A and B are shown apart, each in its own frame.
Chain A
């Protein structure tokens, strides 16, 4: 394995560069996946049947809390990559830890929101609108849940093995995934919630 020390840790080997490029191609497929979900959402948003419309069930407070939590976590994972480039293991781990806690808090609010929807009679089978709403939000939430496990394992690897070209590369790829989830949330926040409450 040839290590090029003039490059940041995560790019320092050929394998690392290919891993990052490969992950970007995966993110391209994810963009298309969420594109199809948004297409279905916009098609079905007015098919509320006997169930409630978005404006009747959306609440601004939990949505705003979720948005701030995810935006801040996107910032802290960016700081983790910066600390990793400074070869500061302690700060890298601290920022990844903060990111995961913010992600967990986001998930907690989202689970509260889902329980609330089902409680007020807006479940998965209520109408075409509630079905696509919960599917779109749920797909994003499932990605966040997956990310929490992934991030935890990376944190354990950094603790055990330190900042090596491998762990640095994995941390960077995880940061790409996490920023991507924030981008998807921005679109959900704008075109599901704010558009629905406008």
Chain B
């Protein structure tokens, strides 16, 4: 039975619950907008990286170079879209 619950994945799950609890602190504790956003950005991106490496086995096959390049490319396009939009439409630059 215990062989069905590998240590790496159980630890990954526990860690993702801890990250969720830390992110929740921005709701339950009183803090400035900047501090809150920093906490959310850090916990969300660690959480995403955790899923990618521990659960999605992104680095296990011989295609890992192509897979990571593709994910980074997609992330860059998504972030440029988001921050480019914010720069032009909200921050008036």
B82 & A39 in contact (Cβ 8 Å cutoff): yes
Once the chains are docked, how many angstroms separate the CA of A17 from the CA of B61? 8
Interface residue A117 (Cβ < 8 Å from any Cβ of B): no
Q: State whether A189 and B16 are in contact (beta carbons under 8 Å apart), knowing that A43-B89, A43-B90 are contacts in the complex.
A: no
B4 within 8 A of A: yes
A28-B71, A42-B90 known; A195-B82 Cβ under 8 A: no
Complex Cα distance, B43 from A88, in Å, reads 34
Q: Mark B64-93, 1 if CB is under 8 A from A, else 0.
A: 001100110111011101101110011000
Beta-carbon contact of A198 and B70 below 8 Å: no
Q: Mark A171-186, 1 if CB is under 8 A from B, else 0.
A: 0000110011011001
Residues facing B in A1-56 (CB within 8 A) are 11, 17, 20-21, 24-25, 27-29, 31-32, 34-36, 38-40, 42-43
Kindly report which residue of chain B lies nearest to residue A178, judged by CB atoms: B55
Complex contacts, A130 vs chain B, CB 8 Å: none
**Are the CB atoms of B40 and A74 closer together than 8 Å?**
no
Looking at chain B, what size class is its interface with the partner chain? 35 or more
Q: How far is the CA of A74 from the CA of B13 in the complex (A)?
A: 9
CB pair A83 B24 closer than 8 Å: no
A21–B81 touching, CB < 8 Å:
no
Q: A38 to B84, alpha carbons, bound, how many Å? A: 12
Residue on B with the closest CB to A45? B90
Chain B residues, Cβ within 8 Å of A43: 85-86, 89-90
Contacting residue for A91 out of B4, B36, B52, B66, CB 8 A = B4
Is A128 close to B, CB under 8 A?
Answer: no
A142 on interface, CB distance cutoff 8 Å? no
In angstroms, how far is the closest chain A Cβ from the Cβ of B55? 4
Counting chain B CB atoms within 10 Å of each CB, the highest count among A24, A91, A189 belongs to A24
The 9 closest A-B CB pairs, nearest first, are A35-B78, A28-B74, A39-B85, A31-B74, A75-B13, A78-B55, A190-B44, A190-B40, A39-B82
* Among A28, A182, A190, A194, contact of B51 (Cβ-Cβ < 8 Å): A182
